[in-house]
Structure 1
Amino acid sequence: MSKGSDLQVDYDLLATSAKQLRQICDEFNGLEEWKKDVKALVGDSRVQKAMGDFVDNWDKNRKRLIKEIEEVGAMVKTTSDAFKGLDDDLANANKRKK
């Protein structure tokens, strides 16, 4: 954890958050096979159509969620990298002053 005058950055928390966001994306990407399993379980054509509509809607929203989660994960990584870079720069500047 970096400690400055008033600012504290928990790098472990940022790294854990990025890792968990990647895991969520992996889980969402793995749900593609679920669609085939559901269709195999229902026999009535009306139920299959209703489930097909639901699954198609889920696919669309799942893909949107994956994209948004990936974007948040990239923001977390960028934030962590920026703070780490700033922290390093400040530490180096402080060393040069001494």
Structure 2
Amino acid sequence: MSDLTVDFELLKTSTKQLNAIRKEFKGLGEWKDDITSVVGASELRRAMTDFIDNWDDNRKRLVESLEKVGKMVEGTRDAFKSLDDELAKSGKKKPK
């Protein structure tokens, strides 16, 4: 039988990094007005508006996905930690 090894620090770090990335993407916010106000040509303004709208939609989906994955990683870490604690307790019990 092989032993299962879980790197709790890696899972903890991964959760923190996913949250940081999610916050960065979420914090980009609305910047369409800033960009389109400096573009003079109407065709270019429309193209920029289309690009920004597409980016915003995809950014929102990415933020949602990062949040879900972060929760999954955190749940995995918590489940393995709980199991590890239970196994440690059962190993310390004295036989009757």
- Confirm or deny a common fold (TM above 0.5): yes
* 1:44 has 2:41 as partner: yes
Residue correspondence of structure 1 range 1-98 to structure 2 within 5 A: 6-97=3-94
Of stretches 33-42 and 11-20 in structure 1, the one that deviates more from structure 2 is 33-42
* More helix as a share of residues: 1
CA drift at 1:40: 2.9
Number of corresponding residues: 94
Query: How far off its partner does 1:21 sit?
Result: 0.5
Instruction: Identify, as 1 or 2, the structure richer in strand.
Output: 1
**Could you tell me how far apart the structure 2 residues matched to 1:20 and 1:45 are?**
40
TM-score where L is the length of structure 1: 0.88
Structure 1: gaps spanning 5 or more residues: none
Higher relative contact order (CA 8 A, sep 6+): 2
Q: SS of the residue aligned with 1:9?
A: coil
